[in-house]
Amino acid sequence: MLPRIASLSLLCLLSSPLWAADCPPLLKDQGELQQLRSKERIDLCQRFAGKPLLVINTASHCGFTPQFKGLEALYQRYKGQGLEVLGVPSDDFRQEADSSEGTAKICFIDYGVTFAMSEPQAVSGDDAVPLFRELAEQSSAPRWNFYKYVVGRDGKVIASFSSLTKPDDEDLIEAIDKAIAQQ
């Protein structure tokens, strides 16, 4: 009887989506983010660990806001290959909507975003959430809205790109391809 219980316990453990040790500090230290205009929370380890990831700090009223269209196209192009995209709205640069409703309208209605979006967060300075503190430690802190981080399956930043880098930029695509190819 004891071997059967042990094997069932092992089976349950092995079938769980993720061992705690497999979640890199980049995701583990943050834990969860509140999903934009939802009661749901985004568990970063459960949702993104072991997957190629593009993280962008966004703002609803920025000259770069039209990049949402290209980011959504990028997500649609690569999601079948495992790419995840996480948009993190922020008012650090004073260009975010005054309410979550306004942010959600711009993201979901105006630009048709289907990738994960969190509620607005601090992304720079001493108040930055742990995710962005770790991104900054591995590369650099965002200097403006729509700063982009390509993260490998191992939770390490492969490359970061300024706001001026468009979603169809060949260097960004190359970094995403590298993240997808990473084992």
Q: Which residues are catalytic?
A: 62
The two tokens of residue 76 are 């649609």
The DSSP string of the chain is: -HHHHHHHHHHHHHHSS--GGGS-HHHHTT-EEEBTTSS-EEEHHHHHTTS-EEEEEE-TTSTTTTHHHHHHHHHHHHGGGT-EEEEEE--TTS-S-SSHHHHHIIIIIIS---SEEBSP---SGGG--HHHHHHHHHS---SSTT-EEEE-TTS-EEEEE-TTS-TT-HHHHHHHHHHHH--
